Copies of this chain bind each other. A is one copy, B any other.
Amino acid sequence: MGTQLELKPVNGSFSLKEHIYDVLKTSIMNLDIYDEGTNLRMDERTLADQLGISRTPIREAIMRLEQEGFVDIQPRRGVFIRRKSLNEILEMIVVWAALESMAARMACLHATDEEIAELRRLGTKYTKDRAKAELSEYSEANIEFHLCILRLSKTRLIETIAQGLFTHLKAVRRKALRDTSRADRSVVDHMHIIEAIEARDAGLAEELVREHTMRLHAYIRRSWKFIVGEALADQSTTPQTESLQET
């Protein structure tokens, strides 16, 4: 048919609310919420005509974001992007530790040798020196490594929940990973983890992963003020009856 009309990948069961949800979510994720002066306000009507659609899909998207803890919607006051408190961040890291260490255990039991080889490939991509030099790239590889462990658990639910946590932690991570001194320790940890999984030592793998993650926990706790700045450091976010959910 020669030149086609080039109609977008077409909305295979495309729905507005889904799309809006993604748009808003990524917007929030790419926002530096731990910076005073950033506007945390979101107005349904404003968004509605900015995007040229009605309020309904936007409300649905916002509701979902609230459910997931990204925004805080106060009746008759407004919708506000939520700034996670130190304690919330720390709790997320604890849960992350629980999930990933269990994932490592499962990986020892269920992963094939080929899959573990792939994990090694990811883990050895960067040496200690290069990790220091090209921090941002290493950061990406670092994430890949951890996601790989989750995948090797063959437990979808673990991946899903951890992914959700990760989304929340991203904003903090961006600010926290400046510290180069942590990079080489990280590389060493990863190597030990790989070796434990290769040896199918579930108990050891679990322990190493847990301790690795809990080091991030300790680090964040120590340097929270540095990360978010003095002014915001002790702001406790709204109590919240919140949320966290599962399939």
- By a beta-carbon cutoff of 8 Å, the part of chain A in contact with chain B is 13, 15, 59-60, 63-64, 67-69, 75, 88, 91-92, 94-95, 97-99, 101-102, 106, 155-158, 160-161, 164-165, 168, 240, 242-247
Cβ–Cβ < 8 Å partners of A75 in chain B: 13, 15
Residue pair B161, A244 in contact (C-beta under 8 Å): yes
Residue pair A94, B106 in contact (C-beta under 8 Å): yes
Closest to A203 in B: B207
Q: Which residue of the partner chain, among B88, B92, B97, B164, contacts A102 with CB atoms under 8 Å? A: B97
Chain A interface mostly: helix
Cβ–Cβ < 8 Å partners of A59 in chain B: 60
Residue pair A164, B106 in contact (C-beta under 8 Å): no
Beyond known contacts A68-B247, A91-B158: 4 more, CB 8 A cutoff: A15-B75, A92-B246, A94-B155, A98-B98
Cβ–Cβ < 8 Å partners of A13 in chain B: 75
Closest 9 CB pairs of A and B: A98-B102, A69-B247, A91-B157, A244-B246, A160-B244, A242-B247, A68-B245, A98-B98, A243-B247
Q: Which residue of the partner chain, among B60, B64, B106, B245, contacts A244 with CB atoms under 8 Å? A: B245
Q: Which of A60, A95, A247 has the most CB of B within 10 A?
A: A247
Cβ–Cβ < 8 Å partners of A242 in chain B: 160, 247
Task: Report the minimal beta-carbon distance from A24 to chain B, rounded to whole angstroms.
Answer: 15
Cβ–Cβ < 8 Å partners of A15 in chain B: 75
